């Protein structure tokens, strides 16, 4: 046992080592990615690990391993669970032999996500247990024990930390990693693993029969607990429970929910001992609905009566105010303070030298009247450059583009998608678009890596999660195999040829694919690539502002002239767009 200052995801990774885990899969997604990144970086790893191509693939792989008796972990962000929902729902019927833990990290306030969905709803939907940690220590302990819980009930377990668990830090007591020594062995049992109707009807009944025992066990194991102290109770789950504990007065009862399903009999008894209860949780009112079902005539406050906000994330300050409005005096109150007004916002931007920027620049010039469906990755920041008209979910740039093309819309449709996102779920959309005769230009922004989530390798990168070489997949060959007859690859730093390629694509019928390829500028720098940087000749600069409009963070304006700062990475695109020829090579190396 030792105490370390750990990131939530580090603590989770450590808990898995203590279980121990034998098999790890996942697809990167904030805030879940560091778990696999930490596990795959371990020098003496004795378990299998992979970055899978998408979450469905990841979960099915983990399920296969768990059916062979291994302890398997599958990580993803909450929206990844949508992709993996198909195997999840039926894996509850088939069950598992080895423990299977599905970590689905939720993101209240959508810090880096397209929505604020709640993975606990999936657990309820699939009827599998769900663990909901309230702190980093609890996340560590819960995931360590989750594999055994999964084995006890022969069910996958959903583990759902939130952003403020995954990406917060704290002093954490960890145990000793245990070597992974299990070897998979598949025992044939078609009645369990082949879900034809005759089998699945039986499996469904067995799944339902497990539920009561699970709820009781989660109370016995201490995941759901209560301290009755007075006529009023606060019921809280996840990190909201920690916020509540910081300001809860000693006269108020506290019921803490850390796992689902909640034992209704236990909950009913507790609620009935109070005159009124307040339920505080983030995201969907999962606990509140359970409480309302058993509360009888005890009044319940929460999201449904407007006491607790239904969107965004909570905090100690927010919880303190919620208690005050409900009629509990918190031990600390935090008067609302206003930030200083009128400061220029500092939003994240594409890096200096990012390959996406010249693609967006050229795209907007060639297709001035175009419609620009896009996708999920760093390039979503192209929104600031007027180059992103739609983003909904992974792979949808291609499918939304084909939908628009069949709708009767006559303008040019130019979709952009990253390499990893294309491999995740863009390929089927492309196949469909060609098959059904859509009209679009698809630009694959191929920076050879899954950049946004922290540079995880993908099948195009030439390396696996464990660092083994693997042949980089050919995006050109994939597109041709999908039936695209016109596929061109360009260097996005070469603005002339990029522009000419886009112009050529514009005049052709059907689906055209342009692959713009340059390594992510951060990866290139880490690999030691140094290009000569650029500088502005102040004599030649006319102050026209064209380079400023390009939006590179290395270009500033000083005394009505452009100025290139030391953020310059030497892509050289600004020198190609400067109408006065005032930008030249020759800055500092």
Q: What distance in Å separates the CA atoms of residue 422 and residue 397, rounded to the nearest whole number?
A: 9
> Are the CB atoms for 39 and 45 separated by under 8 Å?
yes
Residue 324 interacts with another protein (CB under 8 A): yes or no: no
Q: Any idea which residue has 């020829």 for tokens?
A: 581
Q: Which two tokens stand for residue 370?
A: 């175009």
Residue 26 interacts with another protein (CB under 8 A): yes or no: no
Residue 403 interacts with another protein (CB under 8 A): yes or no: no
Q: What are phi and psi of 205, to 5 degrees?
A: -65, -40
Q: What distance in Å separates the CA atoms of residue 417 and residue 438, rounded to the nearest whole number?
A: 17
Per-residue binding letters, 210-249, with another protein (x by CB under 8 A): -----------------------------x--xx-xx---
Which residue number, 482 or 582, has a Cβ lying nearer to another protein? 582
**CA proximity to 219, closest of 275, 282, 185, 262:** 262
Q: What are phi and psi of 214, to 5 degrees?
A: -65, -50
Q: What distance in Å separates the CA atoms of residue 34 and residue 103, rounded to the nearest whole number?
A: 12
Residue 386 interacts with another protein (CB under 8 A): yes or no: no
Q: Which of 179, 335, 509, 528 binds another protein (CB under 8 A)?
A: 335
* Local structure of 457: helix, strand or coil: coil
CB of 243 to another protein, least distance (A): 5
CB of 248 to another protein, least distance (A): 10
Which residue number, 236 or 290, has a Cβ lying nearer to another protein? 236
Which residue number, 454 or 483, has a Cβ lying nearer to another protein? 454
As a residue count, the chain comes to 589
Residue 378 interacts with another protein (CB under 8 A): yes or no: yes
Q: Which of 15, 20, 26, 31 binds another protein (CB under 8 A)?
A: 31
Query: Applying CB under 8 A, which part among 179-187, 333-341, 413-421, 466-474 lies near another protein?
Result: 333-341
> Are the CB atoms for 414 and 363 separated by under 8 Å?
yes
* Local structure of 176: helix, strand or coil: coil
Q: Which two tokens stand for residue 41?
A: 């970086």
Q: Which of 196, 297, 337, 468 binds another protein (CB under 8 A)?
A: 337
Q: Which of 350, 396, 465, 583 binds another protein (CB under 8 A)?
A: 350
Query: Applying CB under 8 A, which part among 66-74, 147-155, 161-169, 355-363 lies near another protein?
Result: 161-169
Residue 551 interacts with another protein (CB under 8 A): yes or no: yes
Residue 297 interacts with another protein (CB under 8 A): yes or no: no
Q: How many CB atoms lie within 10 A of CB 191?
A: 13
CB of 350 to another protein, least distance (A): 7
Strand partners, 335: none
Q: What distance in Å separates the CA atoms of residue 323 and residue 300, rounded to the nearest whole number?
A: 13
Helix (H) or strand (E) holding 94: helix 85-94
Residue 548 interacts with another protein (CB under 8 A): yes or no: yes
Query: Applying CB under 8 A, which part among 138-146, 268-276, 334-342, 458-466 lies near another protein?
Result: 334-342
Q: Which of 179, 348, 509, 528 binds another protein (CB under 8 A)?
A: 348
Q: What distance in Å separates the CA atoms of residue 24 and residue 254, rounded to the nearest whole number?
A: 36
Which residue number, 354 or 440, has a Cβ lying nearer to another protein? 354
Residue 1 interacts with another protein (CB under 8 A): yes or no: no
CB of 245 to another protein, least distance (A): 6
Give, rounded to a whole angstrom, the gap between the first and last alpha carbons of the chain: 48
For residue 377, the Cα-to-chain-centroid distance in whole angstroms is 11
Residue numbers at the binding site for another protein (CB under 8 A): 3-5, 30-31, 34, 111-112, 164, 167-171, 239, 242-243, 245-246, 315-317, 320, 334-340, 343-351, 378, 381, 384, 452-454, 548-549, 551-553, 555-557
């Amino acid at each position: 046992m030792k105490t370390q200052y750990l990131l939530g995801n580090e603590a989770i990774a450590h808990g898995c080592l203590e279980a121990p885990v034998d098999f790890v899969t996942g697809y990167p997604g904030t805030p879940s990615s560091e778990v696999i990144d930490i596990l795959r970086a371990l020098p003496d790893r004795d378990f299998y690990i992979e970055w899978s191509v998408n979450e469905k693939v990841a979960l099915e792989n983990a399920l296969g391993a768990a059916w062979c008796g291994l302890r398997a972990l599958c990580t993803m962000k909450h929206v990844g669970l949508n992709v993996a929902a198909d195997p999840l729902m039926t894996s509850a019927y088939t069950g598992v032999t080895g423990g299977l833990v599905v970590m689905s990290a939720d993101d209240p306030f959508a810090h880096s996500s397209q929505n604020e969905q709640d993975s606990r709803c999936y657990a309820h939907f699939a009827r599998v247990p769900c663990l909901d940690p309230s702190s980093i220590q609890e996340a560590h302990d819960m995931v360590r024990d989750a594999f055994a819980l999964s084995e006890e009930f022969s069910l996958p377990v959903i583990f759902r930390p939130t952003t403020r668990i995954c990406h917060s830090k704290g002093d954490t007591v960890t145990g000793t990693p245990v070597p992974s020594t299990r070897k998979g062995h598949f025992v044939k049992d078609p009645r369990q693993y082949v879900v034809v109707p005759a089998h699945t009807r039986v499996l469904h009944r067995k799944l339902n029969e497990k539920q009561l025992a699970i709820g009781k066990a989660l109370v016995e194991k201490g995941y759901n607990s209560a301290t009755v102290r007075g006529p009023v109770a606060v019921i809280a789950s996840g990190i909201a429970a920690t916020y509540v504990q910081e300001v809860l007065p000693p006269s108020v009862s506290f019921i803490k929910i850390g796992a689902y399903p909640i034992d209704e009999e236990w909950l009913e008894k507790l609620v009935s001992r109070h005159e009124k209860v307040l339920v505080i949780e983030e995201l969907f009112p999962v606990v509140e609905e359970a409480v309302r079902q058993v509360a009888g005539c005890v009044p319940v406050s929460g999201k449904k009566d407007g006491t607790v906000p239904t969107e965004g994330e909570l905090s100690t300050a927010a919880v303190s105010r919620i208690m005050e409005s409900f009629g509990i005096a918190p031990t600390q109150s935090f008067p609302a303070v206003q930030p200083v007004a009128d400061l220029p916002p500092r939003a994240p931007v594409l890096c200096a030298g990012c390959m996406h920027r010249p693609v967006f620049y050229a795209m907007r010039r060639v297709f001035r009247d175009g419609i620009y469906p896009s996708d999920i990755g760093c390039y979503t920041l192209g929104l600031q450059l007027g180059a992103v008209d739609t983003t909904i979910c992974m792979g949808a740039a291609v499918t939304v583009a084909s939908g628009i093309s069949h709708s009767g819309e006559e303008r040019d449709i130019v979709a952009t998608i990253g390499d990893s996102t294309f491999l995740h779920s863009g390929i089927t959309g492309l196949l469909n678009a060609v098959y059904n005769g859509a009209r679009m230009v698809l630009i694959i922004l191929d920076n050879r890596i899954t950049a946004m989530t922290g540079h995880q390798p993908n099948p195009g990168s030439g390396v696996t999660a464990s660092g083994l070489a693997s042949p980089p997949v050919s995006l050109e060959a994939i597109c041709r195999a999908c039936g695209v007859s016109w596929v061109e690859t360009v260097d996005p730093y070469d603005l002339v040829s990029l522009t000419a390629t886009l112009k050529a694509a514009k005049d052709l019928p059907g689906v055209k694919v342009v692959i713009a390829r340059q390594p992510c500028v951060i990866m290139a720098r880490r690999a030691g690539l140094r290009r000569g940087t650029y500088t502005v000749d102040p004599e030649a600069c006319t102050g026209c502002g064209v380079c400023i409009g390009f939006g590179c963070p290395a270009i500033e304006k000083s005394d009505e002239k452009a100025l290139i700062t030391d953020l310059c990475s030497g892509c050289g695109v600004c020198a190609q767009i400067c109408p006065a020829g005032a930008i030249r090579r020759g800055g500092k190396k």
